[in-house]
Amino acid sequence: MAAFLLRHRQVSTLGVSGILKDKLDPSRPHVESRLGALAGVCNLLREYSTSNDNRAHKFDFLDLTCPHAWYPVARRKNRKIFLHVGPTNSGKTYHALKQLESSPSGVYCGPLRLLAWEVAKRLNKANVPCDLITGQEREEVNGAKHKAVTVEMADVTSNYSCAVVDEIQMLGCMTRGFSFTRALLGISADELHLCGDPAAVPLIQEILKPTGDDIHVQYYERLSPLVPSQKPLGSFKNIQTGDCIVTFSRREIYKLKGQIERGRKHLCSVVYGSLPPETRTRQATMFNDASSEFDVLVASDAIGMGLNLNISRIIFSTMKKFDGVEMRDLTISEVKQIAGRAGRYGSDFPVGEVTCLLADDLPLLHSSLKSPSPILECAGLFPTFDLIFMYSRLHPKKGLYRIMEHFLENAKLSENYFIANCEEMLKVAAVVDVLPISLHDKYLFVISPVDMRNEISSQGLTQFAQNYAQKGIVRLKEIFTPGTLQVPKTESALKELESIHKVLDLYVWLSFRLEDSFPDRELAASQKAICGLLIEEFLERFGWQKQPKTRKLPSRVNSGFLLSKETRQYV
Ligand SMILES: Nc1ncnc2c1ncn2[C@@H]1O[C@H](COP(=O)(O)OP(=O)(O)OP(=O)(O)O)[C@@H](O)[C@H]1O
Ligand SMILES: [Mg+2]
């Protein structure tokens, strides 16, 4: 762990619990879904905070059967819901955005930061001033009445004339689905445009029944053909400009990049989930740019949503993926979503092609492309902070971990909903429960974007939470030494740099919520940018091939001289 000095301090029992209480104002537009921008529940909270315990006991906080009632602002409206559904590349988002652009005020809620960036850019370019709000970014534009946000940041207390929720089928996602459900039920807009897979239509119609909203379903057809090939790729000799090879582990990604580049005909850009988003965008831009030498893309399913790519052919190097528990076949939706990236309308390739590396994988590819995605049956749900807080008052001795666990086991749900998988959140709850901080602050750490499976990332969170509990202020320099970042030379060094980027990203996220306690946002942001540039330096200059023994690798960033001009200007 080069740059992070994760010092383990004794946690003081004289923590600063409560000092920062009420720092998060639920009426502020950027406060997350789970931080309870639920006016309905807030009213209950006010009522019960002045009532005696007997009354509180009568209210069943575990009853989550009527989530539509949590959003009184939206319930006061008779919303017009437009469901734009169809295959990939059929213009669903395009049409919804046209409506957003021509409305006096509105919000776009996307599943990824990259999509929110793209929409903000597009609206601003079209002279519709648009703010960008994600967990880690706030870019406010003068006079903006429009916002592009990540779905977790959707504000359910404001009124809009138009709102768009993209990739709405994600309401069935085990971990993030509840944020889509919240946007669906809670956004108060005259017109709400939902874009996604037709498999979500019956569930959305069912869920919206008690709201009385008007629903119109609009079906779309693919704008350009997607042709499944009868022949596998067979050999990397058959790779062509515009190809995108898809695989599901970073190790495989670099292995394939090496194999293809050794043929000396092509250079590969790479896109995968743990690359910093800015790096992903730049890698994609290089691939899209016909004048760049990077004419082939090696990517994970991170390309499945969001990036506009000039792909002629998708090649699945495998049809199996490790899902955290086991190796399994790709689902129909995953195959369609990924394959749908080839031959985007308006790109350099009017016809998309899709194939596999191996002949044995072709039958699954063909059958998946022919089948409709299975109908979605349930939408995700998660108790808000307000519910957890009220419940905790009845069980003051229980820590956040036990409270969450109790909710997971005992929450009452109607048949259209499931409770979100919060394994990761429980891991964080176990870490913060031993610290002398308020429930509210614990909850904040629990919902932060930390990857607890990643050692550096989870140690970063632990250190931030411990320092916060001990001193109330977390200086970045106490746990991170600027100037120590290096261009990675090995796979593990690259992975470490990606993890450091994640920790810095977490710091920025916390700095937006606990501003006084995490004051070094600018430093964290600049170090994040350096991480991204160092990763790109590595990707562009060295690839994943063996380095010639005589080649001198660049040393530390602050010595600078071996770095490209672009990187040096940031150091
Ligand atoms: N009527 C149109 N005129 C010009 N460009 C269009 C039109 N409809 C769609 N496009 C372009 O075609 C591409 C695909 O459209 P869009 O992103 O809306 O598809 P989608 O159905 O939302 O796909 P996905 O399911 O992959 O998100 C985009 O680059 C979009 O700008
Ligand atoms: Mg779309």
Q: What pLDDT, in 10s, does the model give residues 481-510?
A: 888 898 998 888 999 999 999 999 999 999
> In the structure encoding, which two tokens stand for residue 319, read together?
């049809």
Ligand 1 site, residue 350, Cβ cutoff 6 A:
no
Are residues 257 and 182 both part of a single domain? no
Residue 306 lies in a domain: yes
Ligand 1 site, residue 93, Cβ cutoff 6 A:
yes
Which residue, 549, 460, 548, 545, is CA-closest to 496? Answer: 460
Residue 315 lies in a domain: yes
Instruction: Please give the Cα distance from 172 to 181 (Å, whole number).
Output: 9
Are residues 275 and 199 both part of a single domain? no
ipTM, interface predicted TM-score of the complex? 0.99
CATH number at residue 478: 1.20.58.1080
Are residues 129 and 150 both part of a single domain? yes
Residue 28 lies in a domain: no
Are residues 210 and 71 both part of a single domain? yes
Confidence of residue 61 (pLDDT cuts 50, 70, 90): confident
Ligand 1 site, residue 337, Cβ cutoff 6 A:
no
Ligand 1 site, residue 92, Cβ cutoff 6 A:
yes
Last residue of a domain, one of 219, 241, 267: 219
pLDDT tens figures, 127-175: 999 999 999 999 999 999 999 999 999 999 999 999 999 999 999 999 9
Written as one string, the DSSP assignment of 363-376 is HHHHHHHHSPPPPP
Residue 405 lies in a domain: no
**Residue bearing tokens 């104002």:** 25
Ligand 1 atom 14 nearest Cα? 89
Ligand closest to the CA atom of residue 90: 1
Are residues 122 and 251 both part of a single domain? no
Last residue of a domain, one of 310, 339, 370: 370
Residue 198 lies in a domain: yes
Burial of 158 by CB count in 10 Å (0-12 exposed, 13-18 middle, 19+ buried)? middle
CB 176 within 8 A of CB 424: no
Residue 349 lies in a domain: yes
Which residue, 513, 104, 194, 142, is CA-closest to 131? Answer: 142
Q: Average pLDDT over the chain, rounded to whole? A: 85
Are residues 356 and 459 both part of a single domain? no
What's 232's DSSP letter? -
Instruction: Please give the Cα distance from 33 to 109 (Å, whole number).
Output: 12
Ligand 2 ion: Cβ-proximal residues, 5 Å cutoff: 93
Tell me the CA–centroid distance for residue 93 and ligand 2, in Å: 4
What's 303's DSSP letter? G
pLDDT tens figures, 219-269: 999 999 999 999 999 999 999 999 999 999 988 999 999 999 989 899 999
Report the residue among 115, 345, 348 best suited for mutation to probe ligand 1: largest number of ligand atoms under 8 A from its CB: 345
pLDDT of residue 349: 93
Are residues 231 and 215 both part of a single domain? no
Are residues 361 and 257 both part of a single domain? yes
Confidence of residue 571 (pLDDT cuts 50, 70, 90): very low
Report the residue among 93, 118, 167 best suited for mutation to probe ligand 1: largest number of ligand atoms under 8 A from its CB: 93
Show the domain range for 264.
Answer: 226-370
CATH number at residue 366: 3.40.50.300
Are residues 247 and 315 both part of a single domain? yes
pLDDT of residue 19: 21
Ligand 1 site, residue 308, Cβ cutoff 6 A:
yes
How many structural domains is the chain composed of?
A: 3
Are residues 214 and 243 both part of a single domain? no
pLDDT of residue 324: 77
Ligand 1 atom 16 nearest Cα? 91
Residue 114 lies in a domain: yes
Residue 495 lies in a domain: yes
Tell me the CA–centroid distance for residue 376 and ligand 2, in Å: 18
What's 330's DSSP letter? P
Sign of CA dihedral 270, 273, 274, 277: positive
Report the residue among 194, 223, 309 best suited for mutation to probe ligand 1: largest number of ligand atoms under 8 A from its CB: 223
Tell me the CA–centroid distance for residue 93 and ligand 1, in Å: 6
Are residues 80 and 163 both part of a single domain? yes
Are residues 455 and 328 both part of a single domain? no
